[in-house]
Chains A and B, each alone.
Chain A
Amino acid sequence: MIPTEAHPKYRTSPDAVFETFDDEIIIINMVTGSYYSLDATALGIWNLLQGQQSLSHVVRATQNAYQDDAETIESTVTKLVEELEGEGLLVRINATDAPVAAAPTASAPAASTSDDGNAPHNGTTPDSRPPFQAPKLTKFTDMQELLLLDPIHEVDEMGWPHARPEGGAAPQASAPLGTPSAPSA
């Protein structure tokens, strides 16, 4: 079910950066540390959204580009967009927002959906459209720990912000150069 606001438009979140390769797109959320890959079907949907197309238009274009039940495509596309928004990769463009230039889609593959969204299959000729495969968004979270921030509250006696090492122990200098100790197995 398309959201009550039937014509929301989206843009890339300022927290995210993305690059397109062949038929896949890699997106990184620089705030959360999660990163994602989108497959070819999802890429086509992403490209339409980058082109400032409304969600309803994206749904229609996808329905026209693939064989499948229109309702299934609508719900799948809507779910993907909601997921992208929930992951902080897309933000809605409010009516009061300043106009945003459509993001360039350098190296984007040939769009799997038509831009005008007004060319439905007429049913009188063999349907050469590919079958619809649900778009796939893969999320990776293994880098999140690099962005975890332990709040620093202390200032040392010299006025410098200070943090204790993990475990709360006082910092230990490693063995100075030239006096190696045997590494533990």
Chain B
Amino acid sequence: MPLPLEPVSEERREEASAFFATVHSVFEAAAHRCGVTTRIYSIGGYRVRLRFAGPPLLHALTPAFEHLRLEDEAEFDLTIGLWDSASTGTRLPPPPWGPEDILTRTAVRNYVDTRIRVAYEPVQTILSVLDTDSNEGFFWIRDAAQLPLYQCGSPLLVPLHQWMSLHGRILVHGGAVGTAEGGVLLVGKGGSGKSTAALCCLGDPHSPLLYAADDYGLVRCDPQPHFYSLYNSGKVNAADAHKHPLISSAQYAGVLDSQKALYFLHAHFPEKISTGFPLRAIVLPRVTGQGTTRLSPASQAQAMLALAPSTLFQLPGSETSKFQGLGELVRSLPCYVLESGTDWQQIPQVLGGLVAELNGNA
């Protein structure tokens, strides 16, 4: 998807507004027919209200957010309505775009970095649409029974990224562990060991480190770097299940296409799940195959290489500002390589020592 995209014409903007209004009206019809269940969550420090028309998506998409749930439903910064056609008996008319307008990473031409933002997944027909002026959005799937498991583990990833990017938050591809006083951001592309490191900390009953993420989270740079947990889901390779005995003993929600088991960790280990903390360092896990786990200094450029590409390329829109924000984050924190040895029990010890040292110096 080229930068910059061609400017959107007034005709297309009016078309987008009309489409949003259509989506809104169909949701309200579904809500009227099936009733609405409301949930409010603290996401990125903002109050996000989810309105579910009918139960299927409520059951599928809320477990990942459960650790962020608020009981007070008085105010909210963002509202998203969610429903499916199959269970609500509603029909959403086709969109004003065609196959030729579908870009990479669920983006749609004329709906990137504009007032009305869209994410569209064309295999299961999953749509999210967001009005960044009214702070209202919708999530629709034709049939909730066809919802892929990865959506349950990381629900509303793109619309939250689209909204948060306008409100001082960067959705990053990374894990995070720490204490209430502060923690570290674990960065690297898939397979680098982020999930392993994060889950090792959660699974160690002697470690003071809390689990905030293993794959995605929100970061704020100003006034001080801060990590906000987004999902309490975790993923364990079947081949590595024996290395996470505490986690593997829990009931998992399903098996992803990557053959990883998906867990909703808050349901099993609520005392070990964090909603976020100040960030003290960036850590690059690296599997060494050696016996000992240790830390070594990493350059800021190394950290940027580990963090930025997978963060930018997974989520559409706001690339330039996001890249600059990631650069600001990297320049503001010390960076380390976690050389992960074969004895995984050392990982929480080494990370715990780093967190304690950095929190003590803060």
**Shortest distance from the beta carbon of B253 to any chain A beta carbon, whole Å:** 5
Closest Cβ neighbor of B148 among chain A residues = A174
Q: CA of A26 to CA of B312 in the docked complex: distance in angstroms?
A: 13
B254:A174 contact, CB within 8 angstroms: yes
**Shortest distance from the beta carbon of B130 to any chain A beta carbon, whole Å:** 19
Q: CA of A157 to CA of B314 in the docked complex: distance in angstroms?
A: 30
B308:A28 contact, CB within 8 angstroms: yes
A30:B308 contact, CB within 8 angstroms: no
Q: CA of A173 to CA of B256 in the docked complex: distance in angstroms?
A: 10
Q: CA of A174 to CA of B259 in the docked complex: distance in angstroms?
A: 11
The number of residue pairs between A and B whose CB atoms lie closer than 8 Å in the complex comes to 157
Total number of A residues with any Cβ neighbor in B under 8 Å? 50
A143:B189 contact, CB within 8 angstroms: yes
Q: CA of A158 to CA of B310 in the docked complex: distance in angstroms?
A: 34
B312:A155 contact, CB within 8 angstroms: no
- Give the contacting residue for B323; candidates A15, A28, A177, A180; CB below 8 A: A28
The residues of A that contact B97 with a CB separation of less than 8 Å are 161
A21:B330 contact, CB within 8 angstroms: yes
The residues of B that contact A25 with a CB separation of less than 8 Å are 301
Q: Does B276 lie at the interface of the complex (its beta carbon under 8 Å from any beta carbon of A)?
A: no
Interface centre among A21, A24, A25, A107 (most CB of B within 10 A): A21
Q: CA of A28 to CA of B60 in the docked complex: distance in angstroms?
A: 36
The residues of A that contact B327 with a CB separation of less than 8 Å are 19-21, 26
Q: CA of A17 to CA of B308 in the docked complex: distance in angstroms?
A: 11
Q: Does B221 lie at the interface of the complex (its beta carbon under 8 Å from any beta carbon of A)?
A: no
Annotate B186-211 by CB proximity to A: 1 below 8 A, 0 otherwise. 00010000000000000000000000
- Give chain B interface residues in 285-342, CB to chain A under 8 Å: 299-301, 304-305, 308-310, 312-314, 319-320, 323-324, 326-327, 330-331
The residues of A that contact B99 with a CB separation of less than 8 Å are 151-155, 161
Q: Does A101 lie at the interface of the complex (its beta carbon under 8 Å from any beta carbon of B)?
A: no
Closest Cβ neighbor of B303 among chain A residues = A21
**Shortest distance from the beta carbon of A38 to any chain B beta carbon, whole Å:** 9
Q: CA of A26 to CA of B91 in the docked complex: distance in angstroms?
A: 47
Instruction: Given the known inter-chain contacts A146-B105, A171-B124, A177-B63, please indicate yes or no for A35 contacting B1, CB distance below 8 A.
Output: no
- Give the contacting residue for B104; candidates A149, A181, A183; CB below 8 A: A149
- Give chain B interface residues in 241-280, CB to chain A under 8 Å: 241, 251-257, 259-261
Q: CA of A21 to CA of B94 in the docked complex: distance in angstroms?
A: 47
Q: Does A112 lie at the interface of the complex (its beta carbon under 8 Å from any beta carbon of B)?
A: no
Annotate A112-155 by CB proximity to B: 1 below 8 A, 0 otherwise. 00000000000000000000000000001011001111011111
Q: Does B239 lie at the interface of the complex (its beta carbon under 8 Å from any beta carbon of A)?
A: yes
The residues of A that contact B347 with a CB separation of less than 8 Å are none
A183:B319 contact, CB within 8 angstroms: no
Query: Can you identify 25 A-B contacts, CB atoms within 8 angstroms?
Result: A19-B326, A19-B330, A20-B327, A21-B300, A21-B301, A26-B301, A31-B2, A140-B305, A140-B309, A146-B314, A155-B99, A156-B125, A159-B94, A161-B95, A161-B98, A161-B101, A171-B124, A174-B147, A174-B150, A174-B256, A175-B149, A175-B254, A177-B63, A183-B259, A184-B238
